[in-house]
């Protein structure tokens, strides 16, 4: 574990006092250049009556000292937060060079735009898209010609100014692997193996497995020239197969610094927070889910593939099992995260709801006498006060989670549109199809993929070199790198680790019964902790989409760092606003180091 890092908010908390006679008016606050903008924002809509400031006392009366101090502190704290965040420089944003390397843009994400019969984007459409990504002007995005009825996903939303934490431009991630690189070829081998093993029970991903397909996948990944997934003793094992890593920007290494978050190599692969019913006041939410049937495979026919690249709505839909069950396979996990479940909200409910009730469906994980909040929580020490929705209570944590999700998506999507625009796995599969089935020799895919057992097996199973997908529409219409879902998982786990004691052991862990995934059986391995299972929750949400065929490993691993940085920025600002005597938020980062804010 690396040294403990302290992120200070104290040095800038004491801003210069305002002159005693200063009167803060709308004009003085906004300044001359901002008056028009401020007036537009503050004016009442035509359909609404004017909104008057509340007057709790006659206008001639002097304000109470407490009121004046609170108002002044609010103004100063907001200024301090803005000033501290502005001091963070714009981060470097290196790219893989594919956009300039290939004039036909085969290394870039062009899905949703019109394409020719070979799946190459029409240049006029690409230029319009590229121009919009350079200007950021909403009008330019409206000029982009689309190839179908599906729309680009929220590009302008990435430019919304988050009022808590840092700006997306201040977060650095490594470049995505280049189209012709050994690393991208290795990621393609991995994602093709995941498509082949979607219906193998996840319990087979263990070092003593006898599953031949798992052993074959492990053996091939060990032969790759450049594979960056977790390893044990320098080798990929069945126990590390398809497990997650986090990727941090490193100015000394263009490929970044890859780490394995604590707990993610521990069995079961699925977090305990996804295997337990969620108490929800007088209701409960079952951990069993609707699962897709193995027949739900898409984009293995070329015309369907091309239509989806053009942005045409899918004509076929997934088929579902009538019996709900626990997440037991990669296909199950991909289906669970298809539409973005509120998994962080659920985890917070499990941790904050008192446990010990007779009906476990309505009970949290820990009894009232064993609170799971950190001992540093100021209300653990208070003799007369308790937390609530204002600070440190469950609604407060849930509000931070909701804001964190929005902020992390802004940060990840900004990188997608305004920096990387990297190619999706489904489009890469189209290049493989043309290279091997149609002899298109100028598509420079790496030999470790073109000559792989994974690709041969996929061709034998599906009759095509295209990559099978579990979602009828395949990936959302924005670039693959970095992954938006993983940033959501990462910001969620980081915020929860800041409020709940990571070291607490989870009692009575469970896993789905491989023979009957409608029931749970005890898990008898090493102890599982809150922190490790929250890290698993983050990677289940992000890396789970790799099982669907819509993301690369690097997409998810880079977004782990994004979500964490977003959370740290938010918590730094939040710490500045608090009035309680408080030593700060402390938690373990995905690289194993401790940080205090």
Q: Each residue of 31-46: pLDDT tens digit?
A: 333 323 333 333 334 4
- Give the residue-averaged pLDDT of 273-287: 95
Per-residue pLDDT at 46: 44
- Give the residue-averaged pLDDT of 391-409: 96
Strands 283-285 and 510-513: unpaired
Average model confidence (pLDDT) for the chain? Answer: 91
pLDDT-based confidence at 79, cuts 50/70/90? Answer: very high
User: How long is the chain?
Assistant: 597
pLDDT-based confidence at 541, cuts 50/70/90? Answer: very high
Copy the structure tokens of residue 43.
């004016």
Closest Cα to residue 53, out of 27, 73, 25, 20? 25
213 located within any domain: yes
Closest Cα to residue 306, out of 442, 198, 188, 434? 434
Per-residue pLDDT at 204: 97
**Cα–Cα distance, 350 to 353 (Å, whole number):** 6
**Cα–Cα distance, 69 to 76 (Å, whole number):** 10
Copy the structure tokens of residue 6.
């302290």
User: Which range, 338-347, 361-370, 408-417, is most confident?
Assistant: 408-417
Model confidence at 413: pLDDT above 50:
yes
Is there a single domain that holds both residue 278 and residue 204? no
Per-residue pLDDT at 8: 58
Closest Cα to residue 415, out of 249, 567, 261? 249
88 located within any domain: no
For the four alpha carbons of 270, 276, 277 and 281, in that order, the dihedral sign comes to negative
* Kind and range of the H or E run holding 198: none
Model confidence at 165: pLDDT above 50:
yes
Model confidence at 377: pLDDT above 80:
yes
Are the CB atoms for 555 and 486 separated by under 8 Å?
A: yes
339 Rama class: left (phi>0) / alpha (psi -120 to 50) / beta? alpha
Are the CB atoms for 325 and 290 separated by under 8 Å?
A: no
Copy the structure tokens of residue 577.
């606003």
Model confidence at 57: pLDDT above 90:
no
Is there a single domain that holds both residue 357 and residue 280? yes
Residues 6+ apart with CB under 8 A from 461: 196
Per-residue pLDDT at 5: 67
154 located within any domain: no
**Cα–Cα distance, 200 to 196 (Å, whole number):** 9
Copy the structure tokens of residue 193.
């193996």
Closest Cα to residue 154, out of 502, 412, 455, 454? 412
Are the CB atoms for 481 and 355 separated by under 8 Å?
A: no
The per-residue b/e assignment along 550-578, b for 16 or more CB within 10 angstroms, e otherwise, is bbbbbbbbbbbbbbbbbbbbbbbbbbbee
The per-residue b/e assignment along 351-381, b for 16 or more CB within 10 angstroms, e otherwise, is bbbbbeeeeeebbbbbeeeebbbbeebbbee
pLDDT-based confidence at 358, cuts 50/70/90? Answer: confident
Q: Which of 7-16, 115-124, 169-178 has the lowest mean pLDDT?
A: 7-16
Is there a single domain that holds both residue 487 and residue 592? yes
Is there a single domain that holds both residue 194 and residue 279? no
Residue 585: C-alpha distances to residues 563, 568, 578 (Å): 16, 9, 12
- Which residues are paired to 586 by β-bridges? 596
Per-residue pLDDT at 50: 46
Closest Cα to residue 422, out of 108, 184, 127? 108
Is there a single domain that holds both residue 350 and residue 387? yes
Maximum CA extent, the chain: 85
pLDDT-based confidence at 55, cuts 50/70/90? Answer: low
Single residue among 244, 264, 280 that ends a domain in this structure: 244
Closest Cα to residue 122, out of 90, 141, 139, 147? 147
Is there a single domain that holds both residue 279 and residue 349? yes
Collapse the DSSP code of 322 into the 3-class scheme (helix H, G, I; strand E, B; otherwise coil) and give the result. coil
Is there a single domain that holds both residue 344 and residue 391? yes
pLDDT-based confidence at 340, cuts 50/70/90? Answer: confident
Is there a single domain that holds both residue 505 and residue 578? yes
Is there a single domain that holds both residue 356 and residue 238? no
Model confidence at 115: pLDDT above 50:
yes
* Kind and range of the H or E run holding 574: helix 553-577
Closest Cα to residue 406, out of 574, 157, 166? 157
Residues 6+ apart with CB under 8 A from 530: 351, 372, 497, 500, 501, 502, 503, 504, 506
Q: Which of 59-68, 369-378, 466-475 has the lowest mean pLDDT?
A: 59-68
468 Rama class: left (phi>0) / alpha (psi -120 to 50) / beta? beta
- Give percent of the chain with pLDDT exceeding 90: 85
* Kind and range of the H or E run holding 272: none
**Cα–Cα distance, 183 to 181 (Å, whole number):** 5
**Cα–Cα distance, 514 to 531 (Å, whole number):** 26
Copy the structure tokens of residue 151.
């729309």
Per-residue pLDDT at 60: 54
Q: Which of 323-332, 336-345, 555-564 has the lowest mean pLDDT?
A: 336-345
The per-residue b/e assignment along 70-99, b for 16 or more CB within 10 angstroms, e otherwise, is eeeeeebbeebbeebbeeeeeeebbebebb
Is there a single domain that holds both residue 359 and residue 239? no
526 located within any domain: yes
401 located within any domain: yes
CATH number at residue 496: 1.10.606.10
Model confidence at 12: pLDDT above 60:
no
Per-residue pLDDT at 370: 87
149 located within any domain: no
Say which residue the tokens 């994980």 belong to. Answer: 365
| pLDDT tens by residue, 204-248 | 999 999 999 999 999 999 999 899 999 999 999 999 999 999 999
Is there a single domain that holds both residue 378 and residue 493? yes
**Cα–Cα distance, 557 to 87 (Å, whole number):** 27
Are the CB atoms for 434 and 440 separated by under 8 Å?
A: yes
Give the structural domain span for 211: 186-244
126 located within any domain: no
How buried is residue 514: exposed, middle or buried, by Cβ count under 10 Å (0-12/13-18/19+)? middle
327 located within any domain: yes
Per-residue pLDDT at 59: 59
Half-sphere exposure of 169 (CA within 13 A, CB side): 10
Per-residue pLDDT at 494: 98
Are the CB atoms for 230 and 205 separated by under 8 Å?
A: no
Report the domain count for the chain. 2
How buried is residue 316: exposed, middle or buried, by Cβ count under 10 Å (0-12/13-18/19+)? exposed
Per-residue pLDDT at 576: 96
Is there a single domain that holds both residue 283 and residue 363? yes
């Amino acid at each position: 574990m690396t040294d403990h890092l302290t992120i200070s908010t104290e040095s800038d908390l004491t801003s210069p006092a305002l002159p005693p006679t200063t009167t803060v008016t709308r004009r003085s606050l906004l300044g001359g250049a901002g008056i028009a903008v401020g007036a537009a924002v503050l004016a009442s809509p035509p359909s609404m009556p004017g909104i008057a400031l509340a007057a709790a006392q006659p206008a001639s009366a002097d304000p109470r000292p407490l009121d004046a101090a609170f108002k002044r502190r609010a103004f100063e704290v907001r200024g301090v937060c803005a000033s501290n965040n502005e001091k963070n420089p714009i981060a470097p944003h290196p790219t893989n060079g594919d956009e300039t390397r290939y004039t036909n843009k085969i290394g870039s994400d062009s899905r949703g735009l019109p394409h020719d019969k070979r799946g190459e984007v029409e240049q006029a459409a690409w230029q319009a898209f590229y121009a919009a990504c350079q200007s950021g002007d909403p009008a330019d995005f409206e000029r982009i010609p689309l190839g179908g009825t599906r729309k680009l996903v929220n590009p302008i939303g990435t430019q919304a100014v988050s009022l808590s934490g840092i700006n997306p431009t201040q977060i650095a991630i490594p470049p995505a692997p280049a189209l012709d690189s050994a690393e991208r070829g290795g990621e393609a081998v991995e994602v093709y193996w995941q498509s082949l093993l979607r219906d193998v029970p996840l319990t087979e991903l263990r070092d003593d497995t006898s599953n031949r397909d798992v052993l074959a996948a492990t053996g091939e990944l060990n032969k790759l020239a450049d594979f960056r997934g977790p390893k044990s003793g320098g080798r990929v094992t069945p126990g590390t197969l398809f497990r997650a890593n986090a990727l941090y920007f490193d100015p000394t290494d263009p490929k970044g610094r890859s780490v394995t978050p604590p707990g993610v190599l521990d069995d079961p692969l699925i977090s305990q927070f996804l295997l337990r019913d969620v108490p929800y006041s007088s209701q409960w939410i079952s951990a069993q889910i609707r699962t897709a049937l193995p027949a739900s495979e898409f984009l293995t026919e070329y015309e369907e593939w091309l239509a989806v690249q053009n942005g045409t709505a899918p004509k076929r839909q997934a088929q579902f099992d009538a019996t709900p069950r626990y997440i037991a396979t990669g296909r199950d996990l991909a289906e669970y995260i298809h539409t973005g479940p509120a998994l962080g909200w659920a985890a917070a409910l499990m941790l904050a709801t008192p446990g010990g009730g007779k009906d476990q469906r309505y009970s949290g994980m820990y009894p009232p006498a064993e609170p799971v909040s950190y001992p540093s929580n100021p209300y653990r020490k208070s003799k007369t006060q308790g937390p609530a929705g204002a600070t440190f209570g469950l609604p407060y944590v849930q509000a931070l989670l909701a804001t964190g999700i929005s902020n992390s998506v802004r940060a990840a999507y900004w990188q997608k549109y305004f920096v990387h625009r990297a190619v999706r796995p489904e489009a890469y599969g189209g290049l493989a199809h043309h290279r091997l089935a149609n002899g298109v020799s100028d598509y420079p895919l790496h030999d470790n993929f073109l000559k792989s057992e994974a690709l041969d097996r996929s061709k034998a199973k599906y009759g095509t070199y295209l990559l099978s997908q579990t979602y009828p529409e395949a990936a959302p219409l924005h670039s693959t790198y970095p992954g938006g879902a993983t940033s959501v998982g990462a910001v969620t786990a980081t915020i929860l680790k800041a409020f709940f004691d990571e070291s607490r052991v989870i009692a009575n862990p469970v896993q789905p019964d491989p023979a009957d995934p409608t029931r749970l059986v005890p898990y008898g391995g090493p102890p599982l902790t809150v922190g490790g299972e929250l890290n698993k929750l983050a990677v289940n949400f992000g890396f789970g989409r790799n099982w669907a065929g819509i993301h690369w490993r690097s997409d998810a691993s880079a977004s782990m760092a994004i979500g964490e940085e977003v959370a740290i920025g938010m918590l730094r600002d939040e710490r500045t606003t608090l009035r309680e005597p408080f030593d700060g938020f402390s938690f373990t980062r995905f690289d194993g180091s401790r940080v205090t804010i």
